[in-house]
Structure 1
């Protein structure tokens, strides 16, 4: 068995152990690495329109981080505001006209839910206020770490043989280049797909008369990077906005937007844009996402596809080759 393979497996196991022991720090570094690749890909797209590399890298960072800050800065207040409105709308409906005790039960449930919502909002505000410094620290760590990784990546590559002593360094570099290339392909496909999902969501929300259409489009595009779970983050404020502005027909409008964007992504965008880039089975991704998510939390969901890419390349470049030589 190749010495390079044992080094790779050892580093991978060490990484997973550290992620389990220090989830916040290691998770932030992992997300920072993903952001570094993503910003580099965006910068590469900007270079195609004849913009200097010195400008594209910071411009890509501003675009990406600006979109994240805007989406999640707006998400909480809009969701709280619309949740409050939704309960007011429900309380305005005359459930007492329903025969029997059903109407009385519904009104009691709404009163209880309203009190619970008020308590939840107060608790959430207190939690955010007490943990705001932690969020700022993590955000700064992400920005600084991604910037450092972008600068130090070339030096790290030049000294890669120090991390794999007395091993087949050529095959190691081939594996690392293949893995990084696959990650870039995945990120590249995701950027284009997320952009289209965001535009579709924004356009349909605008046409159907939803407020905060730009916010919904940006949120849909940003959360599209989270496999399978991103759509639920967008769905919550979208359905709330639909209900508070158009009542029950608004829920149908919101579901129409979600289903349309999801189906276009599933049957048109993903197969054409990402299908040939990283060949991974969707069922394997789904099962792996639940396993890594349960083991490592939110970061586990985010690293599912990169880990599957690594496992796939280990199998294809080392295991199969070893089995052939037996």
Structure 2
């Protein structure tokens, strides 16, 4: 058996053990996954601080952790209470929008065929939208009960994981036979770089889209600007498909604000997303990106397997599978 084949078997076993955690407890698996994402962000910021300010590694990690927790504290303390208050008003608006068929005001019987097509679409969307909202409402009590322990262990793992991340990387190779460590090192190194790049660029893109959407909606004069901008930031964590979910409430609120404001809002949001996409491509420059069709298929598959967390981790899992394929499967298939 070749060294590459041995590496693929050992790596496959460890990855299978990792994903088997989801079979035991989805909450534990979610905490670990989100902790890994947080640790990758902390690790990158620590490197930047260490490089520019010439600080020791552990002190750089400490400052990175403080910056992250201060940011989260500000978001939780200032943003969430306001969003929760605005959600009830937004739900009342949605009910009124569909009951009064407010989209008809845009046409005034000028384009009957287009009006009929939009009416059919929105009439079909209404039960699905409210079914989704009811599902979310039913999940809130369960989430609320588990949120405390989830946040506690997430913070705990992030703190300890950040300080011991370098040690973990150094000790990881000792889980493999000495003869295949070199082959295995290349796989884990590429996986680490690709995952860190994806996680960090996605977080920055989400913050940019959410912040820009908040500014744009306020300038244009669109109602529910805060909840729409938060929704825009959250859906940005789901590549490709998330944009579709983002634009549905934007269009609904835009319609109620008048055709001119709706068109301006859509144009501005397209420009914002184009800017975020250019930034994303710049960060991923020189790295292999996952095909959009593969992303959609991954979201469907892993959303079914892992539930709500599935769409969020679909692309990271895709990156993992692609890296595994490039390092272990492809060389085997391409040999003469």
Q: Do they superpose with TM above 0.5? A: yes
Equivalent residue of 1:226, what SS? Answer: coil
Q: CA deviation at 1:289?
A: 1.7
Secondary structure in 2 matching 1:279? coil
* 1:200-223 per-position Cα deviation (integer Å, ceiling 9, x unaligned): 313321220235646644553344
Which position in structure 2 is the counterpart of 1:34? Answer: 37
Aligned-partner SS, 1:168: helix
Partner residue, 1:225: 237
Q: Does 1:173 align with 2:176?
A: no
Q: Deviations over 1:260-292 (max 9, x none)?
A: 4334444x3333333544422222112112111
Report the CA distance shift for 1:9/1:202 in structure 2 as closer, same or farther (over 3 A): same
> Over the residues paired in the alignment, what is the CA RMSD in angstroms?
3.9
Over 3 Å counting, the alpha-carbon distance change for 1:23 and 1:130 in structure 2 is closer
Moved more, 65-74 or 49-58: 65-74
After TM superposition, the structure 1 = structure 2 runs for residues 155-304 of structure 1, keeping only pairs within 5 Å, are 155-165=167-177, 167-211=179-223, 213=225, 216-231=228-243, 234-235=246-247, 238-239=250-251, 241-242=253-254, 246=257, 251-252=262-263, 254-266=265-277, 268-304=278-314
8 Å contact kept, 1:289–1:300: yes
Q: SS in structure 1 opposite 2:239?
A: coil
Query: Where does structure 2 lack aligned partners over 5 or more consecutive residues?
Result: 110-118
Name the counterpart of 1:25.
28
**Secondary structure of 1:210's match?**
coil
Aligned partner (choices 59, 78, 93) of residue 85 of structure 1: 93
TM-score (norm 2): 0.73
Closer/same/farther in 2, CA of residues 310 and 65 from structure 1, 3 Å limit:
farther
Normalising by structure 1, we get a TM-score of 0.75
Closer, same or farther: CA 175–89 of 1 in aligned 2, 3 Å: closer
Instruction: Indicate how the Cα distance of structure 1 residues 207 and 42 shifts in structure 2: closer, same or farther if over 3 A, else same.
Output: farther
Residue 143 to residue 230, structure 1, CA distance change in 2 (3 Å): farther
Residues 111-140 of structure 1 show CA distances to partners (whole Å, capped at 9, x for unaligned) of: xx9xxx8xx88x977864565221222222
1-side partners of 2:45 and 2:236: how far apart?
A: 16
Q: Is the 8 A contact 1:242 1:253 kept in 2?
A: no
State the alpha-carbon separation in 2 of the partners of residues 179 and 241 from structure 1. Answer: 41
Please list every run of 5 or more consecutive structure 1 residues that lacks an aligned counterpart in the other structure. Answer: 99-105
Q: 1:236 to 1:63 in 2, by over 3 A?
A: farther
Q: Larger deviation: 293-302 or 14-23? A: 14-23
Write out per-residue CA displacement over residues 168-195 of structure 1, whole angstroms, 9 at most, x where no aligned residue: 1122122111110111222233244334
Residues 155, 205 of structure 1: CA spacing in aligned structure 2 closer, same or farther, 3 A cutoff? same
Give the deviation of 1:141 after TM superposition: 2.1
Conserved? CA contact 2:241–2:296, under 8 Å? no
2:144 counterpart of 1:132? yes
Task: Specify the alignment match of 1:317 in structure 2.
Answer: 327
* Inter-partner Cα distance in structure 1 for 2:163 and 2:289: 30
Is it true that 1:145 corresponds to 2:148 in the alignment? Answer: no
**Aligned twin of 1:101:** none
2:18 pairs with 1:15: yes
